[in-house]
Every structure is written in C-alpha cells, then in structure tokens.
Structure 1
Amino acid sequence: MQLLAIGECMIEMSGGEEGCWRMGFAGDTLNTLWYARAGLDPADGPVGYFTALGTDGFSDRIVGFLDHAGIDTGAIRRLSDRRPGLYMIEQKDGDRAFTYWRESSAARGFADDAAALRAATAEARMIYLSGITLAILPPEGWARLLDALRDARQGGARIAFDSNIRPALWSDEAEMRDAITAAAALSDIVLPSFDDEARWFGDADPAACAERYAAAGAGEVAVKDGAGPVTVLAEAGLMRVPVPEAGPPVDATGAGDSFNGGYLAARLRGTAPVEAARAGTAMAARVIAAHGAIIDLPDARAWHRDAAEGERHDR
C-alpha cells in the first residue's frame, strides 16, 4: 500500500440556507488522503483508510463513498454499538462556524484492538495521522497507536504527522503537548501550522517551530503559515517556499489538509521537499477556490471504482 491514513471520517452537513443542508463525508486525515490520490498512480499500489465505523446505514454510506473513490476500506473496524461522528458548518458573522457531535463516535474505538491496528499498518509505505487522530483516543489508545507506528517504521514505513492542534478534544493541555511531541518524535515528516504552534508551544516564528520538531526527532518539517511562505527544514537546510498569489478564497475548509496531500504525494514520488511544498501550495490553491473540505478533482478520477472496472473490461 502506498499510503495509509488513520483517523476519523465524519458526516459533514454544510449550507443551512433556508433550513437546507447538504450531506457529505470528511475528516482531516481523510481529506489529506483524498488529495494525495491526485498525485499518485493507482498502478503503484492502493491507498487506504483506517478508522472505526458503526454497522448502521450511514456507516455503510461512508464505506461505499470511500470504495467508489478507490480508497481501500478493508481494514476499517465495524462496531455494532457505535455510530459515525457528525459536524455542521454554517456561516456566522462572515466566517465559518463548526458544531460537532463526536463524543461517542465509533472512531474513538479504532485502536482498541491492537492486533487489528498492527495488521492495518504492517504493509504501508507511508502512514499518515494527525493530532486529531490522537485526540479522539483515550491515553491508552494513542499509546497503543504509537507503539504500532514504531513497529511499522522499524519495518520500513515512513510516518507523516500533522499536529493539527484542537485543544477542545483534549482533557489536559500538558497531555496534548506530550502526545503531539511523542508522535512527532517518531515521524519522518511533520506538517504543522504555525498559528496553532505559536499559541500552544510558544514558537517565535515558523523557523523556530521547524527547529523544535527537528530537535524532537522529526526528519523533515514543513510549516504552513496561512498565506505566508511554507518553511521547510530538511537535509538541505532551512528553506522558505512562497505561496502562489490567488484570488480571495471561496472556502478555506481543508486548505491545510490539501497542502498535506499534495506534499505527501510528491514525496512518495521521490520529489525533493522544496518541490513537494510547491506541489502542496498548488493543491491548496485549487481547493480553496471551491466549497467544501472535499472536492472532486479530475486527476484523481483514475482511482474511482468505475474507472478501474472499465479498465479491467478493456483488457
């Protein structure tokens, strides 16, 4: 498997105009996997998602959605007593407002089965997770996850991590910082956002953020900074990659996730970190020009199940 993402896929309700809402599916690690597909070739192997869902109809819809998109769902756990999480996006005071229902979501139990977790991570070339992946788990769950990632890395997998700091999901701020630092320490690639890092870790600038994660053990760091340059720290040293000029964003939802997808796909292809950052900013520019965390990209349609079935019939 080229890339395995681990986290929570949620039901997304957006809109709200005149009481009408549009249902979709999204989640930070799924969003990144969605956009990474656009830069990867299905002939080089599958991409997959690992989480836990219920056995209800909405969980079935999520699995069907992922299957059609060409995302391997074989490792997803199905828990009969749980349901997917839900969030709603509405406009308030000229900006987006999010309301979540995820306290008892099935994804909070994805790491309960250590054997299933290790089986899911065993064959991936790269494994991607985020701070939200850790935050939805109890402490014993994220410790179990980090153990599995450590074993996968020893087996040759590369670990990629976005700290994606969400304090509301943590019961203790010190625990949050400890868990994020522990995940970064065993990661080959870390993809933080400077505004969150400055607030919760006290970094003076993006370079300080990159250097802190490198000191923790990360092999490569690309710090996002909104419309500012991406700061990349890798073997070649510290570099800044400008974000291309673009018009006002239509919807900034998923901007960081889509950057991550473009970046990781480029790195999996063997592209150097600076060029990977350019690929990430180009992907983010496409995504913020449309509504929603997940948009359809023509260059990802080769992954669609109907396209793959058509190719098999042509042979």
Structure 2
Amino acid sequence: MTAASRVRPPVVCVGETMAALVPDPAAPLEEAAGLGVRIAGAESNVAVYLADHGVPARWVSALGDDPFGRRILGEVAAAGVDVSGVRTDPHRPTGLLVKDPAPDATRVHYYRRGSAASALTADVLEEDAVRTAGLVHLSGITPALSPGCRALVAALLDPSPSQRPRPVSFDVNHRPALWTDGTAPEVLLGFARRADIVFVGLDEAQALWGGELKDAEAVRELLPEPGVLVVKDGGTDAAAFDGTGVHRVPARRVDVVEPVGAGDAFAAGFLAGLIRGESTVRALRLGHLTAGAALGVTGDHGPLPDPARIAGLLDATVREWAAES
C-alpha cells in the first residue's frame, strides 16, 4: 500500500497558531497608522484550506486563556475546522507576531517564547483528537518551539511507516529565526526522512542541506525514504515523487500580493487531491490552485476559485494548463 493510498480523513494538523498584528493599511511598522488583528499559523492554515475543499480537518494545539486565544479559536472553528483538540492553558499566553512590511520584504517579529503551544508535549498523542486521525500533518516550525514540542514531533514519527497507525505528512517549513542553536539541518532532515509525505521548497532545501542540490531529483536522492516527496520551485513548478516516477506541474501565473501562507495552501490542496483519490498530477494542480488563493491576499487565507473553475482546470489538457502557466 502506497503512502498516498493510506491518506484518509480526518486530517489532524498539529501546531501553533498566533495572533498577528498587521499594519493597516500596509506600511512600515514605524509609520503605520494602525494595526489590524489577524491569525497566523501554518498548521491551522492547512486545516482551514482542507475544510474549504470539503475535507474533514481537525486542528490540535494550545492557546492562552486570553482574548487573542479566544479570537483564534473562534475564527478557525468558523472556517469549518474541528477545534475539539485545542487546549486552553490558563498559565501561558497565546503567541503573537507583528508584521513589518518593507519595500524589499516583509519582516516578522515574534513574541512566542513561553507561549501556550510551546508547552505541548508527546502526551498529545494519547488524546482522541490525534488517535482517531486518518492523517497527521506537521511542520518544521513545531520542533523549533521547545524541547517538549520536538519530542512531540519525534513521537508522531517514531514508528516506521509500515507500523505507523496513521501516515504523517511533514512540511519542512524552515524558519531560520527559530533555530538559533544551529541544529535545523540535522533535525529537519531526520524528521523528513521518517515522514510518509514531505513538502519542501527547492530553495529551502538548498539553504538547509547545500547549494549542490540543483534540482528536485537531487533533493529526492537526499530524501529517498518518504513515499511521497513534493519539491516546490517557487513560481516555476512543483515536482512530486510517488514511487511510480516523477510528476511535474508548472505553477499558474498569479498576481502576487504577499507570499505568506502559499506553502500551507499548496500542501492542503495536494493532500485534498490525494484524499479524493486524484492522480498525483491532479493533486499537484489542486495544490497550485489553492496556493494561488493565498498569493492573492495580504493575509494567510484567500477564497478558492469557483468550484466549476477548479474542476475545469483539473480536467484541462497539459497544453491548456500550460497556457495559464
């Protein structure tokens, strides 16, 4: 049985979500006229986009017993995500980030040390919210938050894939600011090698594991273990290795407003395709279409195209798809 064929709902996404303060309208933080409150979290982003695609999704995390935590919980639940596995911690706050837009890039300032989610440990695995999962989705952000969070990720990936009660999807999602101890290359490579499904950007792989990784095939040589490996090359294409070979789908042209959240959206679209029983190529297309929704907005979550539009593009010939790429 392949990794793809083992993917079943509900998909349980485990990781931290923070309140995000964003200049509104967009401007450098020191010049901002005001700040808007949004939410930001890789794993909850995936859960929300899965729900958009009609896939049962559950988010497991911890929040502070504070207004930010209640706002996050309400917004994720309102998007159709099961939040029954979210803990409320009366002693630790909800994490916070502040965006600082600049002409060259958007800088992000984190205030998450000692947050409620950073206190998560491997005991999460004993909860029904995780034990009843059809697939668990993780990212490389979580193991950087604390030793307990790293132990949680290690425990979810502890059994070999053949003995694992449910497959595990892992988005490398390297955040250099969180890895001040210099262990990111070794730790993230080890976790990626133990996952069933892995998402990684080509530039991300190069930054972590060496510039000699010139293409997706080189990344596959480094990561032969996952049953499914998806290597994203920015706005160029995405390649998926699924045991039958390599499948490539070019990215569609999109007017990019902000890239934050696009990787999470891509992962959700691809996983939704697998759960629907789509081919690897169609799952890649659904990943691109979902990522496009995130690229077109200033927040992490944008509206999906009309269902008829999605169906038409999934059914498009290679030439028709390429014409939009």
TM-score, shorter chain, exceeding 0.5: yes
Mapped contact 2:157–2:191 kept (Cα < 8 A): no
Q: Is the 8 A contact 1:132 1:164 kept in 2?
A: yes
Q: Does 1:228 align with 2:228?
A: no
1:98 matches 2:89: no
Counterpart of 2:85 in 1: which secondary structure?
A: coil
Unmatched 5+ stretches in structure 2: 1-8, 26-31, 308-325
Instruction: Give 1:244's aligned residue.
Output: 252
Question: Post-superposition shift, 1:192?
Answer: 0.4
Matched-pair contact (CA < 8 Å) for 2:138–2:153: no
Which structure carries more relative contact order (alpha carbon 8 Å, separation 6+)?
1
Letter in 2 for 1:200: L
**CA 1:71–1:25: 2 relative to 1, 3 Å:** same
Partner of residue 28, structure 1: 42
Q: Distance in 2 between matches of 1:151 and 1:179?
A: 17
- The question of whether the paired residues in 1 share the 8 Å contact of 2:257 and 2:296 is answered with yes
Partner of 1:72: 82
List 4+ stretches of structure 1 deviating above 6 A.
none
What is the aligned-residue identity percentage? 31
Partner of 1:264 in structure 2? 271
Paired amino acid for 2:135? M
The alignment partner of 2:236 has SS state of coil
Query: Are 1:124 and 2:133 counterparts?
Result: yes
1:274 corresponds to: 281
- With over 3 angstroms needed to count, the CA separation of the structure-2 counterparts of 1:185 and 1:94, relative to structure 1, is closer
Aligned to 1:63: 73
Q: Which amino acid aligns with 2:176?
A: P
Q: Using the alignment, how far apart are the partners of 2:180 and 2:107 within structure 1?
A: 22
Aligned mates of 1:37, 1:144 — CA distance in 2: 25
- Give the RMSD, CA atoms, in angstroms: 2.1
**Which structure has greater helix proportion?**
1
Map Cα deviations across residues 95-136 of structure 1 (whole Å, 9 max, x no partner).
32212111221110111xx33333232111111011001111
Read off the aligned partner of 1:25 and give its amino acid letter. Answer: I
Partner Cα distance (1:206, 1:239) in 2: 11
Instruction: Show the counterpart of 1:304.
Output: none
Q: Give structure 1 stretches of 5+ with no counterpart.
A: 301-315
1:163 aligned onto 2:172? yes
One-letter amino acid matched to 2:117? A
Aligned counterparts of 1:172 and 1:11: Cα–Cα separation in 2: 25
- Which residue number corresponds to residue 184 of structure 1? 192
The aligned amino acid for 2:139 is: S
Match of 2:218, SS?
A: helix
Does the residue aligned with 2:91 lie in a helix, a strand or coil?
coil
Deviations 1:255-287 (A, max 9, x none): 111111101111111212221111101111222
Sort the Cα spacing of 1:201 and 1:288 in 2 relative to 1 into closer, same or farther, 3 A. Answer: same
